[in-house]
Structure formats: C-alpha cells, structure tokens
Structure 1
Amino acid sequence: MTRTGGLRASPFDVGMKKLSRAANHSVLWLVVAGVLALRKGVTRRAGLRGVAALGGASFSASLVAKRLFPRRRPAADLLSAPRRLTRRPTSSSFPSGHAASAAAFTTAVAMESPALAVAVAPVAAAVAYSRVHTGVHWPSDVAAGAAIGVGAALLTRRWWPLGRTEPASAREHRSLAALVDGEGLVVVVNPSAGMGADDPTDQIAHEWPKATIVGIEDLDTVIADHAPQALGVAGGDGSVAAVAALAAAHRLPLVLVPAGTLNHFARDVGVQGLDDAARAVADGDGVLVDLAAVAVDGAAPRWFVNTASLGGYPDMVRVREKLQDKWGKWPAAAIALARVLRTSRPMRVELNGERRLVWMLFVGNGPYRPKGFAPTMRPALDAGLMDVRYIRADTRFSRARFFLGALLGSLHRSRTYVHLETRWLDVRLLDGAVAIATDGEVGPTGSTFEFRSRPAALGIYRPHG
C-alpha cells in the first residue's frame, strides 16, 4: 500500500477513479450482462450466469464477510488528494466487494465462454486494482474479495449445470427428403418471439426461395391451404410446440429455426440457428424424437415438446402476462414468482392412484438433468420416458426445506422433492380443478390429466454430426 501511495500523479489516476465508481453496486457488470444477453446462445447464457454469480458474491462479501471480519480502511493521507475518491466508503475494508463482483462475473462468463472472458478479464482486473489505487482497500482485501467471487461463480454449477455442446441422443431418421431451395416447405413464423429480436422472415425467404412463409395466426389452416411436404417453425418454444403438434399429428417432418428467447427444444435437438436448419434440409438429414402428450378431462391430447406443470407455474404465467407490458418479461416473471410462492395453496391429488399433497407438479418430455431444482438439459430424446418431479406439501416446513435445498443444491437428497421417470402418469385432483401449463403457455383447466410419452413421434431435420 505504501508503494502504491507513493506513485506520482498522472492522468491514470482519473481513469482509475472513474472505473472504480462505474463498478459501484455492480452497475458496470450489469450493463455488460445486458449487452451479452442481446445475443442468443452461449453469449446470453454467459451474461445470465454472470448475473447469478454477482448475486452470490455480493451477498457473501457485503452481507456476511464484512460483518464477520470488520477492518479499518487505509488512512486517506496515505495518498495524495487527486488520487482519493471524493466519497470514501464507510463499510468494513475486508473484503473488497468490487473485487468479489469482478471476479464472480468474469469467472461465470469464463465457464460458459472462455473467449468472452478474455475480453472481460482485463476490465475486471483493473476494477480490482482500482480499489487499491484509490486508497479504499488493502491488497489483501482485494485478494480475499476475488477468492469469494470465484467461489460464488463456481457455486452456480450446483443448481445450474454448464450447458452441453453435443445434442441429445435421438433415433436416426432414414427417410427424410432433401428440399431443394425449400420446395414443399411451409414455414410458420412468429415475428414477436424473443427479446427484441429481428423478424427472421427475410432471412428465411432468402435461404429457401421456394418455401411458403405464413404467420403463426394462420396455423389452423396451414395444412388445408398448402398441403406441405414438411412444416417449419421460426419462433420460441411456445410456437415450436404448436407447430410440432401439428406436424406430429399429420406425420410431417419439422424444420426448426430458433427465434425465441431461450430455444430449449432446438438447443436439445441440436439446431443452433438457420444455418444448421438449412444444411439439414439441403442434405435430407434428420432424427426421430420423442414427444409427450396430456389429455385433460378426457379431451384430445395436448402435445408438448419440453414441459408441462400443475400448481404454481400456470398462476405465475398469468401474473407475468399482466405485468410484462409494464415491467418487461424477466422482471415481471420474478415479481410473479414471488407473489405466487407467497400465496400458493397445496393440491390434494392422486398420482397413479396414490394420494399425495403437493405444491407443484412438473412433467418433462424426456429425462432432464440435473436431478435437483431447475432442470436445464436433456441428454436423450429417445428414452421413451417422461421426467416427473413434485414438491411435497405433507412434510413440516416443506416450502422452507425446498428453498433451502434449492439454495444448497441438495434437493436430490431431500424428502420434500420427489423425482421419477415413467412412461405414463395419471393425475386426479381431489379438490376442484386447476389449469395446466405446457411449454410456458397456460392451457385448459381440468381435474384429470393423463400424461403419456410418445416415442419417435416427430421427425426433425438436424445436420449430421
């Protein structure tokens, strides 16, 4: 600290002060995360993981470590006046919250994309050093903060595993036709999918000049009006589920063009963008994947490609839809989740004839991983199984135990959280009726729900290898 304090005054001092202030309350990293979130795929995941790591680092450094290990900050007169921050912090010097946030964000980004981390790391190092240069932290404070930040980022893997690079396993499709210039292909486009994404219609028309492009509002008449040889869809998971159901019902292959916010199904299938889809369509390469279906009160089956759920999630979707025009989709979802968890009531149900009291029921198309909270990936789309999870409400402090298990990443060992894999599941509500949500969209209300796995139900164009 004495050596740093003895440095001569220079324009570098001004830059360090500005950078240090920019990182106050992690504002700098939140801005960077927002920029990363604008691009889909690994870039967006890096930004989101960075934000999650920031939360853990800020809590650990500012709310825990600073109170447990109080320490005086360096004396102001160790530095010349031009070097000092105008408003010196008054909290404990140990550890550095700025260093914790910088290290947490950089480590989290590196876990998803080492190339992006190379660009972020110099800025993070400069932020950490700026706290010593401006005289508000000892070097050991910065070192301890950095260690906390790295630990917080690594801890995110407990409940958010790193993304897979290889697609889920699927059965080889041996009879897909190559569609030259998209001839015989009808693509259903939802231009409003995603977070401010551009309408993909022009790109699709350029890639497949002989294809027919229709809007999602024309989905009900697309078969009768166009008699397609294959169906395509450009949109998010909700749009994909609707078009996939139509394709499966008419035994038509599906062409995926990811254009939503998260694109879970396309990612698991192994189609990353229009280029992948175009290559598969030109070569006639593809796979057969499983789907799942649910019949509500004996009605016609409702197909889903990702997940279905009963309990709090449909209520959360309703609240989110009311709030998202004002707050935006992600903040509205967070507000909705908090409201629903506070006011939810348990459901008395029969699961395959056995009575249970549950807070929420989740059914996935195919086995999901991890086994604990927030399943995020599917290793197989050819297992012929559904992934069933529910939160028990018949144990003491079940919600508190669930949240604690989710926070610690130990739900797979919790008696409150039940996980099984099965080919079928019959659910009967014993008190009234509830709505079902499939692939993020609220569906019909009912009291009986018959879930079935449909092996090899859908052919999808996917590039070989």
Structure 2
Amino acid sequence: MSDSLANVPLPSRAPGGRVTDWLTARDHAVFRAVASRHWPGADHVLPRLSRSANHGLLWFGAAAGIAAFGRSTRARRAAVRGVASLAVASATVNTVGKRSVRRVRPVLDSVPVIRQLKRQPITTSFPSGHSASAAAFAAGVMLESKGWGAAVAPVAAAVALSRVYTGVHFPSDVLVGAAVGVGAAFAVRGLVPTRDQLPSPGRPHTDAPRLPAGRDLVVVVNKASGSAAAKAALVRDALPEAEVREVDPSDLCAELDKAVEQGRALGVCGGDGTVNRAAVAAARAGVPLAVFPGGTLNHFAYDLNIETVQDTCRAVEAGDAVKVDLGRFTPGPNPDGAPGYFLNTFSLGVYPEMVRIREHWSPRIGGWPAGVLAAYEVLRRERPLKAEVRGKKRGMWMLFAGNGLYQRMGPTPGRRFDLADGLLDVRVVHGGRLPGLRLILAALSGPLSRSPFHAAGRMRRVRVAGLEPGTPLAFDGEVVEAPPAFTIDKADEALTVYRPLPTVQTAL
C-alpha cells in the first residue's frame, strides 16, 4: 500500500464503519508520511524536545523563565495561568482520555531508529498527553499575554509534531490532545477570568487636561525602580514634550513638590510606595496624576487597567481620567500628626514585619525567596498583636484595611472593581494557635465573611487603640512605627488619575 495520501480511497455512502475505516487509513497514512520524511536537523532536535516535555518539565521551566524575565505582573499571571491549564489538561487526559479509548501505539517499522525514543511510552496512545500539556500551557499563556503566548506557541507546536515524528502517536492522537489542552485553558479562564474579561474598574470619566505629546506634564522617575531607565526612555519616546526627571529616592518628595507647581499634571514612575507619595502630592495640589507602572507589583496601576507605559500615554493625550479615593489614617507617621494616606492597603500585625524582613533580604536573594523566608521567620517567632479595635480589646495576627473592596478572582481576593466606593475592606485574623493556617483561611475567604479564625467586612471608618510602643504598621509597602491610637477612614474621590478608556468604549 502506497504512503501517498492521494492513494487513500474516498469514503463512500456505505455504513459508518466504512467512514471509520477511511479515517483510520488516512490517519495511518499521515503518520507514515511524517515518520518517513527527512527534515534537516530535526532528527536531533525533535526527539530531545519531546523528551524534555516529559512530566511537564519543559513547561515548568518555561513558566519560571516567563515569571523571572517578564518583569511584570502580566507575565507572572501568564506563567501561573499556563501551569494551571497544563494541570487541568494533564488530569483530564490521564483520568478520562487514556482510560476511555485504549488505543495501541503505532508500529515503529517506518520510523528511523535515530528518531525513536530510548524509552518508549507504555500507556495507551489516545489522546496525546504531551500535546495536551503543550497546547494547554501555550493557550493559557496566550489568554493572559499575547506576546508571551506568541513566543511559546512555536515550541508547543514543535512538541506536538515531535510525538508523531518520533513514532509514539498517530496524528489524530495529537490533534485530539491539543484540543483537550486548549479546552482546559478556556476552562481555567472560566473559573479565573483574565483581566481583559473583568469589568472595567473605577468611576465614570472625569475631566482632566488633554496634554498632546505630554505638553505641560512633569514625570518624576524613581531611579531605585528596577526598570527606571527603560521606562523613562519609553515615556520620552511616546511623550516627547513631557519633562522627565530621574531622581534618587532621597530627593523624591522634594522633586514631587516641585513638579506639581511647575506642570498641569504630575507623572510618576516607580513602585507602589513611590506612587503613594506622588498621589498625596497631586491630591494636595489639585492636579491629575499619571501613573507609569515601574515597580514590582504595581497594584494601583493594574486596578485601573494600566499595565504598560503606552496605556498611560494614551490616556494623557486623550484626557481620559477617573476619580479615586485615598485611604487615610490619623494621626499619620509624621511628627506633626498629619494624616497618612494609602492607595492600596494598610495593615498591622505580622504583615509589616514580613515586609521589613523581605526588604532586607530581597537585594541579596531575590524577591520571591525573600518573601518565603520572611513568612517563615515571622510565623515561627511572632506573637499575636494586642489592640483595641472598635472599642473591644482583642488579640490578632493581622488587621488589614483595603482602599476599596477587593473582589475575588478565582479562589483568592485579588482586584478592586471600584476605586471610589467610599468603603474600607477590613479583615482581621484572630489571635490563637496555628497562625499559618489562620492566614491561609483568611486569604481564601472573600469579603463579608466570618469564622472563628477571621472576620471581614465593609466599613467607612475603624478606630484602633491600645498599641504598644514600637508596633509596626505598613501602608502601600512602606513600614513605619504605629501611633498608640489612630482612626482609619477615607478621603472620598480626593484624587484624579489618568486612565485609558476600556477598548469596547473606545470603539463605540
């Protein structure tokens, strides 16, 4: 029988068995055509690529690389989504697919020995688990980040092809496996929406000056930000008439005060702590703020749908903006007792100490390892905090107050849909044994939940008293000593921030 596809007879109008036989014959013919075809260099590359994908090792390595070198929250989300999609696809193939259709592996007579894997799979052939994992990882990454998805897709396609090229799967095994993988990625998206699917955050459009090419915009860039130089260059290219100042952290506050007096709008590039200082300066001066994400996490910017420098530049030139609240605690950290402000979060208890330890170690061992070390150290040796909250004395591991209600993205609270809701998202982890378990349960719970371990609710103000001297508090990643007593509330719609209109609104 010829290997040419043209020699495979067309299906007749006979019973379904004839059609099935024709499909099987065509599947075998395509397998022989791929297995017998010589592609320069492929004999050495594809078998190795196929082996590297065993047990998902290739994709776990790719996820680590994306998270490490992407240097953005979107890249890290893409890596996590890819791995989650892979896990769902692998579980589906191994628990349902392989057991439902027990198909024998292809005969290797037509496959050159140099291509054959040293260790042949012993599981059934249908569907291809490697193809499912490859397609799931690539599709998961693509749904969160098109750029990284485009980089991963050719590798995933090569892994799928390698399964036929090395003779361990028929083409139909690969196609069905890839379909299962893509379906798994969309199933994960159904459970945990991508940011593009979520409702646009913030209040309706408010007036802000249009600044073509960045005219009359003064942008202050914190040199300590890891990507400061690159982000400053992007701002200069996109907004050539803006004045961009790269400053040392010690000069940041002074430069921000100068900038609000010299421009019609203030721009800032740095992490959440830098953005916090700029927001306070802009609110006091009554000028709009343009946030260019340049830190590690960029929570405030991302909750406004600002993920790139280009997003902010587009909003500045169009004059698109929203009003947002400022969280406030009085008295604040300054000697004069003036209020302190937070854009994202405020906390007492173990979290401030975790921030302090993480900041100490992160320059030496990296951010993620430092965070793990900080959590271990704090939970190993810390004791519950004693405080009076709303007139009642209690022990607690942590008190958290968010500027706006944090909604759930899948199993954990992760995003704010409205940054001007006038509310505080207050969560308390009660004192007691097993602090790690208590913190995990609190993290997995949503707003307005209560248990013996934690409580959460919406509030407009919270009074805290009875703190011991030296108790640390954290706000937007900054750690200071807490006053003995203070009140947490909000300055409603105190700040105007440039924010691009959602794509659907722009199109309309």
Task: Tell me the TM-score normalized by structure 2.
Answer: 0.71
Does 332-341 or 417-426 show the bigger shift?
Answer: 332-341
Partner of 2:479: 442
Q: Indicate which of 266, 277, 286 corresponds to 1:242.
A: 277
Distance 1:379 1:127, change over 3 A: same
Specify the code of the residue in structure 1 equivalent to 2:253: D
Post-superposition CA distance 1:290-328 (Å, at most 9, x none): 110123578322211111222222222222223222322
- Identity over aligned residues, as a percent? 38
Distance 1:146 1:333, change over 3 A: farther
Retained in 2: the 8 A contact 1:434–1:445? Answer: yes
Does 89-98 or 76-85 show the bigger shift?
Answer: 89-98
Partner of 1:295: 330
Specify the code of the residue in structure 2 equivalent to 1:304: F
For structure 2, the residue ranges without an aligned partner over 5 or more in a row are 1-23
Give yes or no for the alignment of 1:319 onto 2:357: yes
Specify the code of the residue in structure 2 equivalent to 1:47: A
Distance 1:398 1:148, change over 3 A: farther
Partner of 1:218: 251
Specify the code of the residue in structure 2 equivalent to 1:442: V
Q: CA deviation at 1:266?
A: 1.9
Retained in 1: the 8 A contact 2:222–2:228? Answer: no
Does 75-84 or 104-113 show the bigger shift?
Answer: 75-84
Please provide the CA RMSD for this pair.
4.6
What is the aligned residue count? 456
Give the Cα separation in 2 of the matches to 1:258 and 1:204: 11
Give the Cα separation in 2 of the matches to 1:144 and 1:99: 5
Specify the code of the residue in structure 1 equivalent to 2:201: A
Distance 1:340 1:108, change over 3 A: farther
Give the Cα separation in 2 of the matches to 1:344 and 1:288: 39
Q: CA deviation at 1:239?
A: 1.1
Aligned pairs for 1:120-139 (under 5 A) are 120-121=152-153, 123-124=155-156, 126-127=158-159, 130=162, 134=166
Q: CA deviation at 1:83?
A: 3.9
**SS of alignment partner, residue 357 of structure 2:** helix
**SS of alignment partner, residue 427 of structure 2:** strand
Aligned pairs for 1:77-96 (under 5 A) are 81-86=113-118
Higher-Rg member (1/2): 2
**SS of alignment partner, residue 406 of structure 2:** coil
Q: CA deviation at 1:264?
A: 2.1
Give the Cα separation in 2 of the matches to 1:400 and 1:87: 43
Partner of 2:262: 228
Partner of 1:23: 53
Give yes or no for the alignment of 1:112 onto 2:149: no
Give yes or no for the alignment of 1:335 onto 2:373: yes
Q: CA deviation at 1:403?
A: 3.5
Retained in 1: the 8 A contact 2:193–2:410? Answer: no
Q: CA deviation at 1:9?
A: 8.1
Post-superposition CA distance 1:189-238 (Å, at most 9, x none): 013424x5643334434524353625143233236655234321012222
Aligned pairs for 1:388-427 (under 5 A) are 388-394=426-432, 399-400=436-437, 403=440, 415=451, 416-427=453-464
Q: Indicate which of 201, 212, 218 corresponds to 1:186.
A: 218
Give yes or no for the alignment of 1:199 onto 2:234: no
Q: CA deviation at 1:153?
A: 8.2
Retained in 2: the 8 A contact 1:205–1:213? Answer: no
Partner of 1:451: 488
Specify the code of the residue in structure 2 equivalent to 1:254: L
Aligned pairs for 1:352-367 (under 5 A) are 352-367=390-405
For structure 1, the residue ranges without an aligned partner over 5 or more in a row are none
Task: Tell me the TM-score normalized by structure 1.
Answer: 0.77
Post-superposition CA distance 1:222-270 (Å, at most 9, x none): 3665523432101222211111112223333212222223322122234
